[in-house]
Structure 1
Amino acid sequence: MSLFRLQKLNGHILSENKITTMSGSSSPLTTHVLNTAMGVPGSNVSLKLYRQDLASSVWDLITTGTTNDDGRCPGLITSQLFTSGVYKMHFETAQYWASMGETSFYPYVEIVFTINDPAQKYHIPLLLSRFSYSTYRGS
């Protein structure tokens, strides 16, 4: 039993002023963090998803989450909220490496991408080591 009071809010769980998506919900946008240095999923990586306001160029926070044991963060955004625009995923990589007693050259990784057709599915993998990272549009 959790010591925190959880409130269900439009398919999300609100806890300690932090919105994280419920793992059962589907999302048109997915991510998968892989620790390529150790050959394991990047579990327990904190991340934030933003959408850029085109009028002001300000980044609006959409949701926060943490990768699961498989390095995935299901339910990032609902189909209703997923619109055309410029998005950014911010991964807390220094925190991830520090949790394993390691240091990292990159304190965080930000992946910025454009969504032109929100009816499609988009997958943004992050391949991670302490001194490098790469990404691509997956399927």
Structure 2
Amino acid sequence: MSRSAEPGPFFHGTIADLTVGDLLTAGRPSNYRPEIVMNHIYFTSRVNGAGLAAEIAAELGGGAAAPRVYEVEPTGEFEDDPNVTDKKFSGNPTRSYRSTAPLRVVAEVTEWERLTPDQLQMWRERLSVLLSDDGAEIIN
């Protein structure tokens, strides 16, 4: 279902060091299962949700790169992210989306709610389950 009329702003969390005008595209490895190349680029209208994704990407990357959040602009149609919406949860409580079209970086966001050490540990534990052979499936 196309959600191109959904109002922004929109955000993307990553460890990539980007500049205004850069395009984020599909076809990259998943932050959660690097052996899977993603058919979509993911984003949210919740800055703290993007911050969480950035923190997870940094954690899985060994902590060598800083987590970053960017305000982004979709360049094409997009849909609710089925990894956190109707196929797994009712509605779209995280206001998360995905697109096959690129996202254009509008600005870097420097303020979002950072994870505490206890929260980071909780996510490490959740990710160990996700990344195990018995873990959750990524809807690609």
- Identify the structure with bigger relative contact order (alpha carbons < 8 Å, sequence gap 6+): 2
Query: Could you say which structure has the larger radius of gyration?
Result: 1
TM-score band by shorter chain is under 0.3
Give the TM-score normalised by the residue count of structure 2. Answer: 0.25
